[in-house]
Amino acid sequence: MATLLLIIIYISFIGLGLPDALLGAGWPVIQSELNVPFEFAGLIQMLISGGTIVSSVFAGYVLRRFGTGKVTAFSVASTALALFGFAFSPSFPWFLAVAIPLGLGAGAVDAGLNAYVASHYESRHMSWLHSFWGVGALSGPLVLSSMLSRGISWRSGYLGIAMFQTVLFGILLMAFPLWTVIHRRKGLGTEDAHTIHSSPVLYSTFKTKGVPFALLTFLAYCGIESTMGLWGGSYLFRSKGLDAIAAASWVSLFYTSITIGRFLTGFMTYHISNNNLIRSGALIILCGAVLMLVPLPLTFTLAGFLMIGFGCAPIFPCMLHATPERFGSILAKDIIGLQMAAAYVGSSLLPPIFGFFAGAVSFKLFPIFLFLYITILVFGSEKLRNVKSTVSY
């Protein structure tokens, strides 16, 4: 039964990844149909990110109150309804309205499933879980671009993914008993062994030893990944002379390297600890940033591009899986929620900071900003190496 539930969780993470890159892939067509300025995509993304941050911050409370199975199922239903809303959207304000439930649902699924896998499965399963997110994130734009190339409306792309989420919702409804069965087999009683009355106050969670460094690490990591995704192609195009199509292809290869790297990381966890995988990933990112920073031929820059992707691979899943060991199982749900919120803040805040300086100065600052972000990540992750919960739950 544990394997069956794990398969359902993997499929849920494919569903989580599917909508993530749809807006960027379809916006050139969507924007012209809705007749709004091109930069209005940022308003939609801000609302989605805001929803994910809010639901992540309160994830610990909600998960204890309703249980991971119910929260996951109804959060998937929320994302399905939002995607149906995009598909049938008559105007831009409607787009803004349905962006909110999409963000709230995605944040709850992300925090809930990460917390559950961190507490109930081995580290390799966390790495493979995030590989499946990569499969979804890569598949969404491919599905949409395939439809567009055949003259099918972008609305059909959103509709198809909304139907996938609806089927997933049905599967999750039928899987409700599995969560409790697995939890009881672990000797924890019902799925939510710790009642709402034992939940820590959010403020006191912030004060737990090591939590500020964990949040800083997640913020910096997602700043690196999102800055590479948003501005990496522009850097290759404007500073390195690649044509637009080739530059876009290298951004896709960056995400592919993360997905492949996470699949391989799952096997590495048999022999290497989470802490050492995190340190190794950070050093690989650092080397990649240096290759992009020094004045070497384009080949070295592109090698650095891929190195940063492979370096990113182990950090996010290994950081999440280490949370119960570092802070204890009672605090884990709250802290994972806060970590996810910090991740979304990093992905929302740090790329625009670079964009401002790139516009004001030069895109050649790109590897310098990456180097600064990875320095922050190394500082935060190294401060966490010796943090370990002393309480047995």
Mean pLDDT of the chain: 87
Q: Which residues of 300-322 are buried (b: 16+ CB within 10 A; e: fewer)?
A: ebbebbbbbbbbbbbbbbbbbbb
Q: Can you give the pLDDT at residue 200?
A: 53
Which runs of consecutive H residues, i.e. helices, occur in the chain? Answer: 2-17, 22-34, 41-57, 59-66, 68-87, 92-120, 123-149, 154-174, 176-185, 202-206, 211-238, 244-268, 274-293, 298-321, 323-327, 329-360, 366-384
pLDDT per residue as tens digits for the range 248-279: 778 878 888 998 999 999 999 999 999 999 99
Could you tell me the CA-to-CA distances from 8 to 2, 26, 69, 128, 143 in Å, in that order? 10, 28, 11, 13, 22
Q: Residue 351 pLDDT more than 90?
A: no
Q: Residue 199 pLDDT more than 60?
A: no
The DSSP call for residue 382 is H
Q: Residue 2 pLDDT more than 60?
A: yes
Quickly state the pLDDT bin for 98 (edges 50, 70, 90): very high
CA distance 31 to 225: 26
DSSP-based three-state secondary structure for 207: coil
Q: What is the pTM of this model?
A: 0.82
Which amino acid, one-letter code, is at 193?
A
The DSSP call for residue 361 is T
